[in-house]
Structure 1
Amino acid sequence: MVMHEAVDLLEQAMPTRDPVEVHAVTHKALTSAIKVIARADDSSGVIGDACRRLLALHPRTAAAASTPPGRLVDWMIAFQFDGDVDYFELDPVAYAPALGADGITAYRHRLGEIQVRVGDPPADRLASSHRHEHWVLSWNEQRLAVLDRDADAVIRTHARDRRIARWFHDTAVALVEIDRVDLATSWARQGAGINPFHQAQECADLWVSLLDQQPGYDADDILAARRSVFDRWPTDSTAARLHDAATAAGRAWADIDDDVIDRLAQQPRDAVSFALGTLRDPRRAWQLAHDLGLDPDDNHTWGTLATAYEAIDPPATFPVHARIVESDLTHADARHYRDAARRLAGMRTLAAGTSDQEHIDHVDRLIADLRLTHRRRPRLQQEFNRAHLP
């Protein structure tokens, strides 16, 4: 957190301190941070986040300090092609105010020299000894197309071979940057129908958000877009977005409810999750789980469902909870033991709430059987004791 506090101070100093001094300190801080992350374990991501903040601040301080463009170009080239790490990018769009027209021309020239030296990338880029250089050149080509506000160049550099939805999403985002929302909408829409699903979902969300920003489209258009995405990718998440769009358009969900559930039934988990999470109907979700044969090993979905159904019929959830406990106890570690103990304690509370001695005895017998079966697991017995189980 000390690094982030230092960046906070630099950001706060920009409006009030000498620009040359602020840039010098920012530049030194960035250089030091890069050296640190090159040698440190950043599994928490804290150092990386601080580096990204400094990288975002650096072009602003460079512009404010009127840094000589030639010096800045030299540094940008060295940072990207000969730096201590190769997983941060510099954005020439962000540096354009500091570079000016002559600096941008010089920067393009330096990139061109490197392009001539390394040649075009082979079909298998991973097999190239210059794969890092090719990646940096490709990134800069994309960002310079945005700087030029050239829609054709943006499409050429971002859409690539158009094989995956990610390229369509990147193209749409870049087109938005140059105020070509009309083209961006089309590219996002196309990407919503292309594999892989998680990338297509991002395209779909972008598509709908772009429709929502344009005066020529209304709630019905957004509903139609969400319906087309759901038809292509019937999942609980696309169904939830369709439900939101139908509500916004003032449409009766009952008109399409059966059709949506029928489509989701191909994947019982999606149908159950949608009924529970979006429709907020635990009775229906419970029925769907049993009718559609929800995978008994899907402990997460069954556990969430059982918790929701406890308010309706507590004893009916006991077999589900017991099955999850048995599953937890196939893992010989303290975390699973604690999870099992907490679930059993919850079952005892539910049983006591019914005021039915038969249910109370049923749960206590289950606990006694588990204690006996796992009597050679002292840590399990300890967790049961901590949970005040009999």
Structure 2
Amino acid sequence: MARKVVGFGEDDLRALAGPRSFERGLGYLDAVSALEVGDGSVTASVRGTDVYVVELTLGEDDVVSGECDCPYGQEGNFCKHCVAVGLTVLRRAKTIPPQRAAARARASGLDAWLTALSRDELLTLVREQIADDRGLRRRLELRAAAARSDLGTVRDRILALIDPRPFARYGYIEYADAPGYAQQVAEAAGALRALTGGGRAAEAVGLAEEAIRVLGEAYEAIDDSDGVVGRAAAAVADVHLEACGAARTDPERLAEWLVGQVLGDSNDVPDLDPLDYAEVLGASGLACVRQLAAEARRRRPSGWAERYLMERLVRAEGDVDALVALYAQDLDPSGATHLRIAEELESAGRADEALRWAERGLRDCAAETYVDGRLVDYVCARYAKAGRPDDVVGVRRDRFGAERSLAAYRHLRAAAQAAECWEAERVAALAALREDARRERGRRYGGPVLIDVLLDDGDVDAAWREAGGLADDRQWERLADLSRESRPAEALAVYLRLAERLKEPTGERAYEHLARVLVGARECHRVLGTQEAFADHLVGLRVELKRRRKLMSVLDRHRL
């Protein structure tokens, strides 16, 4: 098999990107510019929502990889922009080998030139570069301070890098300024890593913790929609973990700091997880984290962060009973917590206990109007699997009794039909809904559920009988839509009444609604053979509302 000229092909790009991103990449071929071929990489710009920079790299065995600074690419995905650059390279495959050779020659020539320079010449060159490149100067200043163990300067430079104020022109870092700030935070992370590598891990720990504090306090005033600052802050957290390991940080002190960070007010970024530090903490440190988390939970049992931390720790221990006990301390009135307990027990192979907890959830929440539908579905699914259709009907009947809604009626209907007892259940359900409608007459916002369920059953005649004095406009319109052929005169009366009300509101949605009602009226006139009457009505309406030009265009579009 012949070797590929550029080391990869369309199939490789499709496999990396997936079918969707590959197809979308085809539409960006004309957006690729500034293609630059290096020895083992290709860089280019791609214009999309913004101008993005793409770099494709050929690793060992010509395995291609790609990076892009678009939001999707920054999540580690081989995006459509990478595909576009890859396809552009394939289109220019014949020119790539000589360009790569030229890149190697340039790199070799540069290396030879630098090697031939004297010390003074190199110093002059570096000084010229740092005079023009602020970022390079900061990085070299940090390296110099670290090399001479000038921790005061290192600290000042790192804190200067993560200081948000130079980017917060209005007291807030805007979206456009977030990448620049993120780059400085990443530089700070690099400096901390260099400090650790230089044998000053203990100092790196303290500086990293100070940096994390500043980032946590500043983050709420940053528009980090693309997550660039969050990723840079995560790099600082990674360095802190590395430094803690290298410095052999005291486990109890580290445990106290971690719990304080997780439970503190500024814990959005970086998102620290004490379990990531398990190896550094050791058994004694993890026990301290557990104790501190339990104490915090007792002090503030309703706290979300306290509950989440405790749950993470207990789950990591693998003790299902302890996890169940933790959940049981704070049972949600909707039954959602009962469901979580049931799912944990079922995952542990304890299906009977799981069902008992789910059943308990239904009992505990029986009087609640809202019960988590997933809990009800869970119990019904297990009853059905066990061949207990009557019990499924019982659960759905109880829920319908507590929550008289169309959704609850549909669930009851499906269960009763499966158990072949729907006729009796329907009679009882409709009787309850009629009583609701009678009791709430004149006091209800919107029409009664009774009308909705009759329409859902397809019992249009019964819906007409019950609608008088009860149905709202939405239900009347639905009734008319279903009755154009069978009850054209009654449906027409509904449409005309609705059209009269819809003449007042303005706006696109109101005009579209009026047009739909008029289309329904036109259909009724067609069935009745009174098209001329409709034409006269429409002419009168157009004359009356002629000043509403948008309405006239909507009517024209519907051929009215």
Tell me the TM-score normalised to structure 2 length. Answer: 0.47
> In the alignment, is residue 295 of structure 1 matched against residue 468 of structure 2?
no
Distance 1:89 1:142, change over 3 A: farther
Alignment match of 2:534 (pick from 346, 363, 367): 363
Alignment match of 1:154 (pick from 301, 318, 324): 324
1:386 equivalent in structure 2: 557
Alignment match of 1:201 (pick from 352, 373, 381): 373
Q: Count residues in correspondence.
A: 327
Distance 1:37 1:317, change over 3 A: farther
2:519 equivalent in structure 1: 345
Q: Contact 1:69–1:100 at 8 Å: present in 2 too? A: no
CA distance, structure 1, for counterparts of residue 288 and residue 403 of structure 2:
46
2:461 equivalent in structure 1: 283
1:13 equivalent in structure 2: none
> In the alignment, is residue 232 of structure 1 matched against residue 409 of structure 2?
no
Query: SS at 1:197's partner residue?
Result: coil
Q: How far did residue 378 of structure 1 move?
A: 3.0
Q: Contact 1:165–1:199 at 8 Å: present in 2 too? A: yes
Q: How far did residue 337 of structure 1 move?
A: 0.9
> In the alignment, is residue 307 of structure 1 matched against residue 481 of structure 2?
yes
Distance 1:361 1:332, change over 3 A: same
Q: How far did residue 81 of structure 1 move?
A: 5.1
**RCO greater where, 1 or 2, for CA within 8 Å and sep 6 or more?**
1
2:429 equivalent in structure 1: 260
Q: Note the 1:74-223 alignment, pairs <5 A.
A: 85=268, 106=285, 109-110=288-289, 112-113=291-292, 120-121=299-300, 134-147=303-316, 148-151=318-321, 153-158=323-328, 160=330, 163-192=333-362, 193-194=365-366, 196-213=368-385, 215=386, 217-223=387-393
CA distance, structure 2, for counterparts of residue 90 and residue 165 of structure 1:
30
Alpha-carbon deviations, 1:288-326, whole Å to 9, x = none? 333xx43334x2x33333222234223321222233334
Q: Contact 2:339–2:361 at 8 Å: present in 1 too? A: yes
Q: Contact 1:211–1:222 at 8 Å: present in 2 too? A: yes
Distance 1:294 1:6, change over 3 A: farther
CA distance, structure 2, for counterparts of residue 236 and residue 342 of structure 1:
25
Q: Contact 1:247–1:253 at 8 Å: present in 2 too? A: yes
Q: Contact 1:146–1:154 at 8 Å: present in 2 too? A: no
Alpha-carbon deviations, 1:240-285, whole Å to 9, x = none? 1111112222x142222211111122156322222222x2333333
2:215 equivalent in structure 1: none
> In the alignment, is residue 335 of structure 1 matched against residue 509 of structure 2?
yes
Q: Contact 2:262–2:273 at 8 Å: present in 1 too? A: no
CA distance, structure 2, for counterparts of residue 339 and residue 327 of structure 1:
11
1:319 equivalent in structure 2: 493
Q: Contact 1:172–1:188 at 8 Å: present in 2 too? A: yes
Q: How far did residue 383 of structure 1 move?
A: 2.4
Distance 1:252 1:196, change over 3 A: closer
Identity %: 20
Q: Which moved more, 1:224-233 or 1:145-154?
A: 145-154
Alpha-carbon deviations, 1:116-139, whole Å to 9, x = none? 6897128xx6xxxxxxxx421211
Q: Contact 2:368–2:402 at 8 Å: present in 1 too? A: no
More strand by share: 2
2:453 equivalent in structure 1: 274
CA RMSD for the aligned pairs? Answer: 4.6
Distance 1:70 1:323, change over 3 A: farther
Q: How far did residue 108 of structure 1 move?
A: 5.8
CA distance, structure 2, for counterparts of residue 347 and residue 8 of structure 1:
56
Alpha-carbon deviations, 1:19-45, whole Å to 9, x = none? xxxxxxxxx9xxxxxx99985597xxx
Q: Contact 1:38–1:84 at 8 Å: present in 2 too? A: no
Distance 1:385 1:245, change over 3 A: same
Q: Note the 1:28-43 alignment, pairs <5 A.
A: none
Q: Contact 1:111–1:137 at 8 Å: present in 2 too? A: no
Alpha-carbon deviations, 1:309-365, whole Å to 9, x = none? 23422332122223333443332212211221233133213422x1512xx344334
Distance 1:253 1:108, change over 3 A: same
Read off the aligned partner of 1:168 and give its amino acid letter.
Answer: H
Q: Which moved more, 1:253-262 or 1:134-143?
A: 134-143
Read off the aligned partner of 1:296 and give its amino acid letter.
Answer: D
Q: Contact 1:141–1:157 at 8 Å: present in 2 too? A: no
Larger radius of gyration: 2
CA distance, structure 2, for counterparts of residue 356 and residue 77 of structure 1:
79
Tell me the TM-score normalised to structure 1 length. Answer: 0.64
Unaligned runs of 5+ in 1: 11-27, 29-34, 49-53, 126-133
CA distance, structure 2, for counterparts of residue 309 and residue 105 of structure 1:
75
Q: Contact 2:244–2:280 at 8 Å: present in 1 too? A: no
Q: Contact 2:290–2:310 at 8 Å: present in 1 too? A: no
Unaligned runs of 5+ in 2: 1-20, 22-69, 79-185, 187-217, 246-254, 438-446
Q: How far did residue 369 of structure 1 move?
A: 4.2
Query: SS at 2:371's partner residue?
Result: helix
